[in-house]
Amino acid sequence: MIATIMTKTILCYGDSNTFGTMPMHNLSDDGRFDHAARWPSVMAKSLAAAAEVIAEGLPGRTTVHDDPVEGAHRNGLTVLPAILESHRPLDLVILMLGTNDLKHRFSLNPWDIAASIGRLAGVVRSSAAGPGGSAPQCLVICPPPIMEVGDLAQMFQGGAAKSVGLGAACAEMCARNGLRMLDGGQIVQASPIDGIHFSAQAQVTLGLAIAREVNDHFFTS
């Protein structure tokens, strides 16, 4: 009899840094890292046969807000239930959103952003998208602080100072709601080219760190 390997399914739900957007030298840049170089793929390779990883990254995606400039479809809350259902059964959902909430147009503070991430986690944990109609487990990745540099500086005006407090706000929210969190700011930094996106090395570093977290705390059984 052939032994069956129980593969776990992970959904990575995020924005341009999950999509694999390269640091932008100007607003017309639309470079994207190759599939194998993006952090969800790096994580998948590290976990090997233990997991199937689904990368669901959309540039400009917010937590729970319609974007009046870039379009209402950027609202991460609106589309999340459909994505959970379309990929079920999911063992784990990794949420890495919040960077786009720092845009000047939204006027949000770190507490608001953390609470919005918590709202998304609540949708995951109240769903029936896990094995046997259960809820998937959920891991929050707090995005690292941003810098106001390059052609994205005006779009994110005032966001750098707010982003410094996001890690603590997310940690408090996660503790209150019994969620596990990794602070991305303790792992990688945004590229100094545009202050938002990750370098190729940061994508690898983050993917390996998340793989260790998943292996140690979610898939130990």
Residue 206 falls within a domain, yes or no? yes
pTM, two decimals, is 0.95
Q: Is the pLDDT of residue 157 over 90?
A: yes
Residue 1 falls within a domain, yes or no? no
CA 152, 72, 19, 33 dihedral sign is: negative
Residue 3 falls within a domain, yes or no? no
Domain total of the chain: 1
Bridge partners of 94?
12, 139
Taking residues 131-152, report their average pLDDT.
97
Q: What is the pLDDT of residues 183-211, one digit of tens each?
A: 999 999 999 999 999 999 999 999 999 99
Residue 14 falls within a domain, yes or no? yes
Q: pLDDT-based confidence at 220, cuts 50/70/90?
A: low
Distance in angstroms (rounded) separating the CA atoms of residues 124 and 2? 34
Q: pLDDT-based confidence at 3, cuts 50/70/90?
A: very low
Distance in angstroms (rounded) separating the CA atoms of residues 212 and 221? 15
What CATH number does the domain containing 166 carry? 3.40.50.1110
- DSSP, collapsed to helix, strand or coil, labels residue 8 as strand
Residue 40 falls within a domain, yes or no? yes
User: Residue 63 in contact with residue 98, Cβ under 8 Å?
Assistant: yes
Domain range for 178: 8-217
Mean pLDDT, the chain, integer: 95
Burial class (CB in 10 A: 0-12, 13-18, 19+), 221: exposed
Q: E strand or H helix at 13, and its extent?
A: strand 8-14
Residue 2 falls within a domain, yes or no? no
Q: What is the pLDDT of residues 120-131, one digit of tens each?
A: 999 999 999 999
Residue 52 falls within a domain, yes or no? yes
Q: What is the pLDDT of residues 89-128, one digit of tens each?
A: 999 999 999 999 999 999 999 999 999 999 999 999 999 9
Cis status, amide bond into 89, omega within 30 of 0: yes
Taking residues 170-182, report their average pLDDT.
98
User: Residue 58 in contact with residue 15, Cβ under 8 Å?
Assistant: yes
Predicted local distance difference test score (pLDDT) of residue 5: 54
Residue 103 falls within a domain, yes or no? yes
